[in-house]
Amino acid sequence: MLRDLSIKNFAIIDNIHISFSKGLAVLTGETGAGKSIIINSLKLILGERSSTDLIKTDREYAEVEAFFEITPGSEAGRTMEAQGFNQGEGLNVRRIIAGNGKNKIFINGHRSTLQMMTNITEKLISISGQHAYQILLKPEHHLAILDQITGLKELRNRVSGCYKKMLPLIKKLHQLKEQKRRKAEERELLLFQEKEIALANLSPKEERELDRERARLKNVEVLCGTLGRCVERLYGSEGSVVEGLTESGKDIERLGKIDTKLIPIAENILSAAYQTEDCVSDLRSYTETLSFDPDRLEKVEERLDTIQKLKRKYGETIEDVLCSLDKIKKKLRALQSSSERIAELEEKLFEQNQTIGELSRELSEKRKEGAIRFCRRVQEELGSLEMRGAKVDILFEYTEGDPNNSNQYLNVDGKVIDETGFDRISFLISANVGERLKPMIDIASGGELSRIVLALKAIMAARDDIGTIFFDEVDAGIGGGVAETVGQKMKEISKYHQVVCITHLPQIARFGDHHFKISKETDAGRTYTTIEPIDGESRINEIARMLGGVKISKKTLDHAKEMLVGNKKA
């Protein structure tokens, strides 16, 4: 419930403070006195966009501050607690608009954000003015009204929650399918590359071995000739290396008997002779393996050519080529996992479709059951507001799903589904006996529209935990006895909520438990708005002004007094 409202440097307001209480408060005053400014300042507390145009001329800032008493356990209270505030302290919200366009917001003395403020205050105040009428005229808002009044918000939220879970899954599924489509050619190329490298059956060291084998095969004659001469010099000819080493070793060995220091030298020379003999043996064995094999040379050349082609495509070395093969296999696995992921998502979305389908069918059935009670209640309320011949109905429709649409998961029983289910409704009304039912938007009378809004507020009063309801322009297009019934209805709503009404009609103002008069005055060349609570003679004079205009007669004053006395008796 709103307890205090302070406004500084806002439009034509210098500095005003209003204290509110339970019940019905009415705000009256001449046209242009600033009644709409009160509403606009509250809208800032509700999170509406600010503008430096709102700052009073020659002032550096504008400020709006409101204090609310919080009902324990209310939605607003739970939101406060969730954001770290103690609901038992109440809610103090202050918003400052600086000349540079920047905003400062404080909640219970702590710097806060616009979003945080809005999350709390939107659950505290409902302003039923031109905006409420526009909502009523737009069928896209009718479902929310029906669900709130028939107590289906929780079931609707379950549908909404399921829908919101499905959206990112559907988006991901579409992305994966598009990727799969785009990468079909890439997959074919990868498969070819994998096969090409795998069939080559490369070994990291084989290129070096093949190079050596090719060189050997190409140079068999050179190798045989040169090695033969080497063997001859080392061992075969007279005066060969082996012969010279052996003789020298033995000569020095004999000299070792004279000087033992020569014995190790002799042993080394003889060892060299033996090692040279071994080398000659190895050379002979090697030479025996040499033979010119043109078929083998051709195969070696072909193998090396294959390796060179793979290296040109996949890397500078065989190791690089084999590394490329690993990368290709990983890419193919990723593409395969993409297919598996698509299958997983499709299965999950199928399950979600079954769930949201069951919830939406249940929601639709309960809506249709609730619609009967809703229409009956609205007709009863309208009857009490002097629209006794009014008939109300709800047209249920749906958008037919396209069977060729890839987004089949948001189709239930051939109906397109969203976060509200598959129902599309619009309120139909016949305002007078004998008229056919027609869409709400076709209602021409502002008076009828304002009473429909009031009727809906009256129905929601016992269910809604909004603390404060502001009625602005609720008297549009009405007067006389209808205005009195509207006033009575607001009085009735004030049993459940704090109600504040801005009105031009004395028939409504008379029902106020509290009455505030808004005036516009001029001082020292400046215009400013004032607001003051009125009672007794002041209130009688204000009701008389509303009844009689500029000149107020004794008869008008008596009428005003009679209206207020009659209200107290009632």
Question: What are 458's two structure tokens?
Answer: 């009256």
Q: Taking 90 as the threshold, does the pLDDT of residue 104 lie above it?
A: yes
Question: What are 529's two structure tokens?
Answer: 């708005």
**Burial of 370 by CB count in 10 Å (0-12 exposed, 13-18 middle, 19+ buried)?**
middle
Give the pLDDT score at 96.
Answer: 94
CA distance linking residue 77 with residue 83, whole number of Å: 10
Give the pLDDT score at 132.
Answer: 61
SS3 426: strand
pLDDT single digits (tens) 361-372: 999 999 999 999
Give the pLDDT score at 148.
Answer: 86
Q: Taking 60 as the threshold, does the pLDDT of residue 137 lie above it?
A: yes
User: In 444-525, which ranges are continuous DSSP H helix?
Assistant: 446-461, 480-493, 506-509
What is the residue extent of each domain of the chain?
1-124+466-534, 186-331
Q: What is the pLDDT averaged over residues 394-407?
A: 79
Give the pLDDT score at 439.
Answer: 87
Q: HSE of 122 in the Cβ direction (CA atoms, 13 Å)?
A: 9
CB 46 within 8 A of CB 76: no
pLDDT above 90 as % of the chain: 31
**DSSP letters along 272-340, please?**
HHHHHHHHHHHHHHHHHH----HHHHHHHHHHHHHHHHHHHHH-SSHHHHHHHHHHHHHHHHHHHHHHH
**Burial of 19 by CB count in 10 Å (0-12 exposed, 13-18 middle, 19+ buried)?**
middle
Q: Taking 70 as the threshold, does the pLDDT of residue 406 lie above it?
A: no
**DSSP letters along 383-411, please?**
HHTT-TT-EEEEEEE-PBP-TT-S-GGGE
Question: What are 420's two structure tokens?
Answer: 């509200």
pLDDT single digits (tens) 260-276: 899 999 899 999 989 99
SS3 527: strand
CA distance linking residue 381 with residue 392, whole number of Å: 11
Give the pLDDT score at 358.
Answer: 95
pLDDT single digits (tens) 467-482: 888 888 677 777 778 8
Give the pLDDT score at 155.
Answer: 94
Give the pLDDT score at 403.
Answer: 62
Give the pLDDT score at 301.
Answer: 87
CA distance linking residue 232 with residue 228, whole number of Å: 6
Tell which wins on pLDDT, 460 or 132.
460
Give the pLDDT score at 569.
Answer: 52
Q: What is the pLDDT averaged over residues 522-536?
A: 85
- What pTM was estimated for this model as a whole? 0.64
Give the pLDDT score at 566.
Answer: 65
Q: HSE of 193 in the Cβ direction (CA atoms, 13 Å)?
A: 22
Tell which wins on pLDDT, 31 or 156.
156
Q: What integer best gives the mean pLDDT of the chain?
A: 86
**Residue 174's CB: how many other CB atoms inside 10 A?**
13
> Among candidates 517, 498, 519, 496, which has minimal Cα distance to 506?
517
Give the pLDDT score at 568.
Answer: 60
CA distance linking residue 475 with residue 489, whole number of Å: 12
pLDDT single digits (tens) 204-227: 888 888 888 888 888 888 888 888
CB 498 within 8 A of CB 23: yes
pLDDT single digits (tens) 305-359: 988 899 898 888 889 888 988 998 888 887 776 778 888 999 999 999 999 999 9
Give the pLDDT score at 517.
Answer: 93
Is the domain covering 1-124+466-534 a CATH 3.40.50.300 domain?
A: yes
Q: What is the pLDDT averaged over residues 383-412?
A: 83
